[in-house]
Amino acid sequence: MGMSAKIHRISGPVVVAEGLNAKMYELVKVGERKLMGEVIQINGSRSTIQVYEETTGVRPGEPVEGTGAALSVELGPGLLSQIYDGVQRPLPVLAEAAGDFITTGLTAPALDRNKKWEFVATAKKGQDVSGGEIIGTVQETKNIQIKIVVPPEVKGKIKSIESGKFTVVDAIGELEDGTKLFLSHKWPVRKPRPYKEKLLPTIPMISGQRVFDMFFPIAKGGTAAIPGPFGAGKTVAQQQLAKWSDAQIVVYIGCGERGNEMTEVLTEFPHLIDPYSGAPLMERTVLIANTSNMPVAAREASVYTGMTIAEYFRDQGFDVALMADSTSRWAEAMREISSRLEEMPGEEGYPAYLGARLSEFYERAGRIVTFNNANGSVTAIGAVSPPGGDFSEPVTQNTLKITKVFWALDAKLAQRRHFPSINWLDSYSLYKNTLNQWYVENVAGEWGDLRDKAMSILQQEASLQEIVQLVGSDALPEKERVVLETARLIREGFLQQSAFHPVDSYCSLNKQYQLLRMILKFGDLASEAVETGASVAAISSMEIKSRIAKATLIEEKVFDAEIKKIEEQMVQEFEKLVAK
């Protein structure tokens, strides 16, 4: 029956087969060249397939065969530092086989079949194990030891297990019912991996980026959106998060970005040094590259491929940061497939289920308890590239309904050379209150109060700006001119941060707290001085101001001592000013 299945109709990546006896989302091989595809619609004897490769040259009448399995990824040692396409084909391996232009129908195993890994068994013979439990470890890269887990739906008593050197296809043991255990296993990408329980997002993911940590924090296991127009600095913001955040594993999905942008990521990532270990950042990164000139259906799959790999590391107890750049291109792939299926279009031609698909994806983020009673997390950060920087379009709007953090990039700030160009008036974080307790216990009791006070100064500045543009700042009352002075210090001495400066690239929480505390103290002293009759002109020409603005460049080890000196000088200067 299955053998007589033939191609009936072709429309780009969408192929209709006649007589295929397949299940929904089953993986199939299409045509003479056995192109990889997935069943996405079944109507009587006809199955609609989305093909993950170019269908040029495929003709009606060619055979189609089912594989009986869903689109799955291979999970095991060998994922780290690898570069995959959207359906987990290793690009370096394919490039070696076919040169720079990958021919269709070409596949290669996702994990190297020949490499031997040193496996240390921790489970014992006769032990009862079930899905998700750790049975041993492999030192995959210099600093990352991965845990080998029982595949999620397997359970039983261990009949035999041994330590030693194995490839991913060698059995390392077996259960009494005859199930063999391997270093790797497969998992269908569209199915979330199970866990014991989900935890509340009460621990921040610390990135060392002041505007994120202090003003718009994200929790471990949280979700964030970075929408921004072209050239506003999305990629640098994501690289900073990948490099500095306290997640141990980074999964970066370059989804439908232009080839040259992805090339930039692929050439820069291998050179980035992990500041925590001194090893290349690539050693704890999995890259998924699906550029805009690759088949559009594979782009739709790439997001699930990346999420499944992230969940696999989460299940071992790692904190994973997942970057999807950009979810807009993923949505566009969905729109294209949907229109070829002749489905009813929703807003702006996107399918009616756009919001549901986006929330299914972000729903898989979270901090969880694993089956080994460890904590793991997947923090999902999706970049959105709204056409023309218009945040009212469907992808941005649907993403905002789902994600709890909104980091709004602003092209105007980028043009003024204010980086990271996060607009502090448009951005928000719904984790602020749940994370406050952590900051109070681990950094300082007044963390939340300082942030709120600084925020209100920035908002006052924004409303005063309109008056200033009309009549100039000299026409304002002294008190309000002090607000402008303080706001400027917050902007220049706190919010701006250089990704390329060796000291400023990362800023510890203690340093963030001290910096902001001092800037706000300056504001308080200035207000008091004005009330006793000092002039704002005298305050704005104080020497101490430039020292405060440059305090971000003081190295961490001498920071506490230096900031004390600055504070003492500040108090003295104000005393002199008031005495005059």
Q: How many CB atoms lie within 10 A of CB 578?
A: 15
On average, the pLDDT of the chain sits at 89
The reported pLDDT for the residue numbered 385 is: 81
Range 243-266 average pLDDT: 79
Tokens 């719904």 correspond to what residue?
Answer: 430
Between CA 186 and CA 45 the distance in angstroms is 29
> Given this structure, which CATH class describes domain 197-431?
alpha beta
Strands 319-325 vs 249-255: parallel, antiparallel or unpaired: parallel
DSSP alpha helix (H) spans, 178-295:
210, 234-244, 259-268
Domain with CATH 3.40.50.300 in the chain: 197-431
In the chain, residues under CATH classification 2.40.30.20 are 2-70
526 pLDDT above the threshold of 90: yes
Q: Which CATH number fits domain 2-70: 1.20.140.150, 2.40.30.20, 3.40.50.2300, 1.20.1070.10?
A: 2.40.30.20
Cβ neighbour number for residue 203 with a 10 Å cutoff: 21
Q: What is the pLDDT of residues 109-162, one digit of tens each?
A: 889 999 999 999 999 999 999 999 999 999 999 889 999 999 998 999 999 999
- For CATH 1.10.1140.10, the residue range(s) in the chain are 447-579
Least confident of 51-55, 293-297, 510-514: 293-297
Residue 214 DSSP label: I
Question: Do the beta carbons of residue 529 and residue 481 sit within 8 Å?
Answer: no
> Given the DSSP bridges, would you call strands 83-84 and 285-290 parallel, antiparallel or unpaired?
parallel
If one compares 13 and 580, the residue with the highest pLDDT of the two is 13
Q: Would you state the structure tokens that stand for residue 92, as one six-digit string? A: 């370096």
Q: What distance in Å separates the CA atoms of residue 53 and residue 36, rounded to the nearest whole number?
A: 7
Q: What pairs with residue 161 in β-bridges?
A: 173
- Nearest-angstrom CA–CA distance, 562 and 543: 16
The pLDDT, as a whole number, for residue 522 is 96
- In tens, the pLDDT along 378-416 reads 999 988 888 777 888 888 888 889 999 999 998 889 999
Task: Select the CATH number that applies to the domain covering 447-579 from these four: 3.40.190.10, 3.40.50.720, 1.10.1140.10, 1.10.3720.10.
Answer: 1.10.1140.10
Model pLDDT for residues 458-487, shown as the tens digit of each residue? 999 999 998 888 888 888 888 999 999 999
Report residue 415 as tokens. 């043009």
